[in-house]
Amino acid sequence: MKYLKLYEQFRLITEEKKEMNKVISYPGIKSNDNLPPLLLIPGGDGIPKVDFTNLAPLLSERFDLFTFYYDGSKGGNAKDVCSDIASQLEEKLGDRLSKLNVLGFSMGTSFGFWIIKSLGGKFNGRFICVDASAPQAASSDRYVHNTLKNNTPRRYQCIVLPFYEDDRKTGKFPLKEGEEANQNQALSFGYSFSKEIESKIEKDDADFNLENCKVDDFVFNAQAEYESWRKSKSLVVEFIDQPNQIGKGEHYPSKLNPSGIWLKGKRFELPEEYFGNRTIKSTSKDVYPDVDFIKNLMKLNGIKDSNDVWVVQDKQWDGPFFCDPKCDWKGKIDFLSKQANGLVGTIMRDPKKPETLDDSIDVIVVRAGRTKDGNLTQAEAEKNKNEFPNNNTKVVILRGVEHFNICQNGSSQIAELAMKFFK
């Protein structure tokens, strides 16, 4: 199934000037005391502009926006941080505290949960949880296990040519701060768990931990979906190796010799003179798929729109075209373990004795309609009601969005929902 923003891709906090765990007006938006206050809490990267670049301006028409930065991988007790945030809100808002509402995304729902708990009877507002609902985990190990359920290794990385070209030149996509690439710009196709592993996940056996999964525990079920996607594109140039072939000979693709060239799903073979005379030459010194070579392929086939030309590579780890799901999996585990040993590991609700919010508080959980396993049904979204923040929690599904892009591509829908739901 396709996915883009993966846990180990969450941006680290590098702006040292940003003070952590301090309530501030939302950056770049003027505060308005005449509007009801709304606290926006970002996901696991702890940077508001990463998640709310599209959403915040829409909400600012009706709400006075506040937020805070946090670093989930740093040590400390998250519940203490939430208690301090609650105190800051009381001091900052004064009489306006009674009008406060809270919206959190992903890990931000857990921070929102404990901030509301800390405010107690002083909180009279409502709570929106975007694609999470203050998750439960008995330990830091279980937090890693639970999060890995939705983050299997990747097989193919697909990038539209203009984005690929910018990435090769600058090391980043041509996006504004906080924007995420959409599926017309970049996407991935990933592995799934084997049926045996899925069965163990379903049983939720406390002795079973996804950190112990081996390469054989993953299967790639998305080839047909990938090929259907490939047929929809004018030109797809593949640089794909066989996975797990390290030490077994040279990997056959090179920057001027792709493993496959496809025109609307039909394979294209390079002309014989290419191999003899090298009519297509490279001007770049690196070893990655050559942009000039791909542009020459466009000319050769009369393709003018580079936004319908795609470069497909393996998940890179050991070499430019080497696919190793084992290393990809380890990268996710290492990242999540770092978070689990920081603030994030101290904010989970204990599933044995889960604390809840008072049922007088109205809560909505907004779920992304696309998951790694397909389209989310209402029954699936409401399956684990015992894990909801309280008994007064309703679920809304946003169709056509995934976890990584729900705050960007679903911003208008979330804003409309918030304006109707919040007092």
Quick one: how far is CA 376 from the chain centroid? 17
Does residue 118 surpass a pLDDT of 80? yes
User: ∠ CA 101-352-203 to the nearest 5 degrees?
Assistant: 105
Does residue 260 surpass a pLDDT of 50? yes
Highest-confidence segment of 61-70, 217-226, 321-330: 61-70
Residue 191: its pLDDT value, please?
A: 87
Question: Which part of the chain is CATH 3.40.50.1820?
Answer: 7-136+349-421
Per the rule left: phi > 0, alpha: psi between -120 and 50, beta: everything else, 364 is beta
User: ∠ CA 190-293-316 to the nearest 5 degrees?
Assistant: 25
Per the rule left: phi > 0, alpha: psi between -120 and 50, beta: everything else, 31 is beta
> Which fold, 7-136+349-421?
Rossmann fold (3.40.50)
Does residue 14 surpass a pLDDT of 60? no
E strand or H helix at 330, and its extent?
Answer: helix 325-340
Q: Could you give the CA distance from residue 263 to residue 338 in angstroms, rounded to a whole number? A: 43
Q: Helix or strand or coil: residue 393?
A: strand
Helix, strand, coil distribution of the chain in percent, nearest 5: 35, 20, 45
Q: Helix or strand or coil: residue 214?
A: coil
Residue 336: its pLDDT value, please?
A: 81
Residue 33: its pLDDT value, please?
A: 94
Q: Could you give the CA distance from residue 95 to residue 77 in angstroms, rounded to a whole number? A: 29
Question: Which two three-digit tokens encode residue 17?
Answer: 């000037």
**Residues 354, 387: contact at Cβ < 8 Å?**
yes
What is the percent of the chain with per-residue pLDDT over 70, rounded to a whole number? Answer: 84
Residue type, 191: Y
Q: Could you give the CA distance from residue 187 to residue 401 in angstroms, rounded to a whole number? A: 13
Asked which of 87-96, 148-157, 244-253 is least confident by mean pLDDT, the reply is 244-253
Residue 125: its pLDDT value, please?
A: 97
Q: DSSP assignment, residue 290? A: P
Q: Could you give the CA distance from residue 399 to residue 405 in angstroms, rounded to a whole number? A: 12
pLDDT by residue (tens digit) across 264-286? 999 998 777 665 555 455 666 66
Q: Could you give the CA distance from residue 94 to residue 410 in angstroms, rounded to a whole number? A: 32
Question: Which two three-digit tokens encode residue 422?
Answer: 């919040």
- Backbone phi and psi for residue 348, each to the nearest 5 degrees, phi listed first: -70, 145
Confidence of residue 137 (pLDDT cuts 50, 70, 90): confident
Per the rule left: phi > 0, alpha: psi between -120 and 50, beta: everything else, 67 is beta
The HSE-up count of residue 199 (CA atoms within 13 Å, CB side) is 4
**Residues 330, 270: contact at Cβ < 8 Å?**
no
pLDDT by residue (tens digit) across 186-213? 888 888 899 999 888 888 777 888 888 8
Residue type, 186: A
Of residues 359 and 220, more confidence is placed in: 359
Q: Identify the CA nearest to 78 among candidates 338, 346, 341.
A: 346
Residue type, 223: Q
Q: Identify the CA nearest to 54 among candidates 113, 130, 166.
A: 130
Q: Identify the CA nearest to 215 among candidates 315, 324, 332, 372.
A: 324
Q: Check the CA dihedral 408-409-414-416 and report its sign.
A: positive
Question: Which two three-digit tokens encode residue 160?
Answer: 């539209």
